[in-house]
Amino acid sequence: MSITREQKKEIIKDLSNRFSNSKSIVFLGFQGLTVKENIELRRKLKSENIDYKVAKKTFIKRGLKEAEIESSEELNLEGPVAVAVGYDDEITPARLANEYSRENKKLKLLGGFVEAKYMDAAKIKSLALLPGKEQLRAQLVGTINAPVSGFVNALAGNIRGLVNALKAIEKSKDK
């Protein structure tokens, strides 16, 4: 059964809305993935608030155009294409897709858009290797906290030394 013109417009409008509200979009080639593997990938992405959508390449390109995302002429999408759309974090869709592609060689990263700027597959893979926002924040807090905790440990060390010296004096007087 073919899709009506109205259904096509709805699909394009849905994709356009997703793309407009996204922080990053990653295109995935999923040729060869079984239904079970596809569902597993979808669940993994959904747990991180990432939409996973399979659509025709023409619908994807029209959705990008309607969302006014940078020129999509350089898109080189081959085979069946899925889209991972991230709303919270720029890196998470690429990171999760890259992790899954290491487990399952059938999944290919084809490129994507981050903050409406096109990135090819190599750039998306390098982006995937960066730590996530929460991990970067934790590293920043740890870096800021390091001098303070070092200072506290130095002060505590002096007090510990004094207590140990007093205990040693007490033991020597008891003998």
Domain boundaries defined on the chain: 5-130, 131-175
Residues 6+ apart with CB under 8 A from 76: 110, 111
Percent of the chain residues topping a pLDDT of 90:
20
pTM (2 d.p.): 0.73
**In contact, 22 and 87? CB cutoff 8 Å:** yes
d(CA 74, CA 136): 32
Mean pLDDT of all residues in 138-162: 82
Q: Enumerate helices (H) and strands (E) in the chain, giving the number of each.
A: 6, 5
As a CATH number, domain 5-130 is 3.30.70.1730
Is 33 in a helix, a strand, or coil?
coil
For position 46, what pLDDT does the model report? 92
Query: How high is the mean pLDDT of the chain?
Result: 86
